[in-house]
Amino acid sequence: MNRRTAHRTHRTKRRTTLAGTLLATALLATACTGSGGTSKGEDAQAPDDPKSVSGTIKVLTHRTDLAQDGTLKKYAAEFNKTHPKVKVEFEALTDYEGEVKIRMNTENYGDVLMIPAVIKKNDYPKFFASLGTVAERSKKYLFTDFTSVEDKVYGQSPMGAVPGFLYNKKVWKAAGITDWPTTPAEFIDALKAVKSKTDAVPYYTNFKDMWPLSQWTSVNGSVGCDTQATTRLAEGNPWAKGADLRVGDTLLYDIVREGLIEKDPTTTNWEASKPKLAKGDIATMWLGSWAVVQFQAAAKKAGTNPDDIGFMPFPAQVDGTFCATMSPDYNQAVNVNSDHKEAARAWIDWFTDKSGYAEANMALSPVKGAPLPEVLKPYEKAGVKLIELDDAQGAAVKEIDNQSEVGINKPDYRQDLVDLARGAKKGSLDDFLGDLGKRWTEAAKTAGS
């Protein structure tokens, strides 16, 4: 088509030729977009001798806070003690997902990077170098499943988290509740007690900031204590009676319906919510173990006791025990186009095993058998069972999710759910969840074809 356009312009008057050529160039440029995908599939081998591996590697990270306060530089210095010839540079990006997604259309996306959520699992071999086989890595590490494609692992999360409610212990005590609720109904009663006996807002939705609402999807697996929960999402209706997501969403709906949330959810503020929970103005929030550090820091800043920040599992028990799923953070991977794959691999191994990053963030270590962080000591005491979800169907779930436009990891449908519960939107919960289920199962039929 381009050729024909160019051809015709040659015959017309000289004056239009230039414009025509320019236009043709523009069209040609259009035709050239969509870079040719070469399916590569390379390995990033661990170096035999850490002293000899060399090169300058660039690490893309979402932790702008650690880049600013110099923590990352300290990690690099520590790393250089064992790998003297590798120079590590960091590039911290505020809008990590958005920027890296676009950069990945080129070959220039650092040597080590966190795998953006948007990249499809099946595309991993095109973008990243493999770190080894599943059999080999799963002996030592957690979360290998989440980045494996056809028996090869492409990333490793340096830490893991467990979902749960953050709560202010003082407020809950003042309301007369000392034991963790074991059913959703008990949980609602507890929040009602908080409402009647204290001045605190029983539950804070963080509706305006949106992403905290999408955290509710992490109830999946924790409710039914099922390591195959992700597979069930791919194969069935996540909002069928008794399914994990339905239980979670129903609890959220009931909390809102009973008026146990903040007065105006449409103008909430995440940063401001942290000191509020620390001070006891807010009693509870559904987040994850990763948030505890931030709230303790906020407590210190607000001059209250950081130990008041408590952490409890989802109110559901199977055979008398709570369950909580362990899930990875961003997975670190090696750019398949990197010139220093050995050095990059050495960094990932060191960062996962020896950096102390997980401890510093009070997070789960991805190394199997490592002790639990301080935050999760109460879990250990209460005998909460920590399980790792099988992520073999993770890519399929993502695909169905996009296809159906439900967005289980996006805030939209839960915002609608909250609107429904507080009467800003008409309809019943059953119809709403039924519609989600219908869209989901219909998309499941066509996805992957």
Indicate which single residue of 7, 197, 425, 445 sits in contact with other proteins (rule: CB under 8 A): 425
Interface with other proteins, residue 119, by CB under 8 A: yes
By DSSP bridging, strand 385-388 and strand 321-328 are parallel
Interface with other proteins, residue 405, by CB under 8 A: yes
Q: Min. distance of Cβ 408 from other proteins in angstroms? A: 11
* Shorter beta-carbon distance to other proteins: residue 29 or 382: 29
* Shorter beta-carbon distance to other proteins: residue 154 or 207: 207
Interface with other proteins, residue 413, by CB under 8 A: no
Q: Min. distance of Cβ 80 from other proteins in angstroms? A: 33
Interface with other proteins, residue 410, by CB under 8 A: yes
Interface with other proteins, residue 25, by CB under 8 A: yes
* Shorter beta-carbon distance to other proteins: residue 36 or 320: 36
Q: What angle do helix axes 429-446 and 412-421 make, rounded to 10 degrees?
A: 160
Span from 45-53, 74-82, 115-123, 182-190 in contact with other proteins (CB under 8 A): 115-123
Are 363 and 164 in contact by the 8 Å Cβ rule? The answer is: no
* Both tokens assigned to 387: 């399980």
Indicate which single residue of 3, 11, 35, 196 sits in contact with other proteins (rule: CB under 8 A): 35
Q: Min. distance of Cβ 60 from other proteins in angstroms? A: 15
DSSP secondary-structure letter at 236? Answer: S
Indicate which single residue of 3, 37, 241, 383 sits in contact with other proteins (rule: CB under 8 A): 37
* Shorter beta-carbon distance to other proteins: residue 14 or 241: 14
Give the H or E element holding residue 88.
strand 86-92
Interface with other proteins, residue 448, by CB under 8 A: no
* Phi and psi at residue 258, to the nearest 5°: -80, 5
- Find the binding residues for other proteins in span 228-267 (CB under 8 A): 263-267
> Within 10 A of 342 (CB to CB), how many other CB atoms are there?
22
Interface with other proteins, residue 104, by CB under 8 A: yes
Q: Which of 40, 42, 153, 120 is nearest to 397 (CA)?
A: 120
Indicate which single residue of 402, 429, 434, 441 sits in contact with other proteins (rule: CB under 8 A): 402
Are 152 and 336 in contact by the 8 Å Cβ rule? The answer is: no
Interface with other proteins, residue 424, by CB under 8 A: yes
Are 302 and 323 in contact by the 8 Å Cβ rule? The answer is: no
- Between CA 188 and CA 202 the distance in angstroms is 10
The DSSP string of 411-433 is SHHHHHHHHHHTTSS-S-HHHHH
Indicate which single residue of 12, 29, 199, 307 sits in contact with other proteins (rule: CB under 8 A): 29
**Positive or negative CA dihedral for 250, 256, 262, 266?**
positive
- Between CA 270 and CA 282 the distance in angstroms is 12
Q: Enumerate binding residues for other proteins (CB under 8 A).
A: 14-15, 18-19, 22-23, 25-27, 29-31, 33-38, 98, 101, 104-105, 116, 118-120, 123, 126, 207-208, 210, 263-267, 401-402, 405, 407, 410-412, 415-416, 419, 422, 424-425
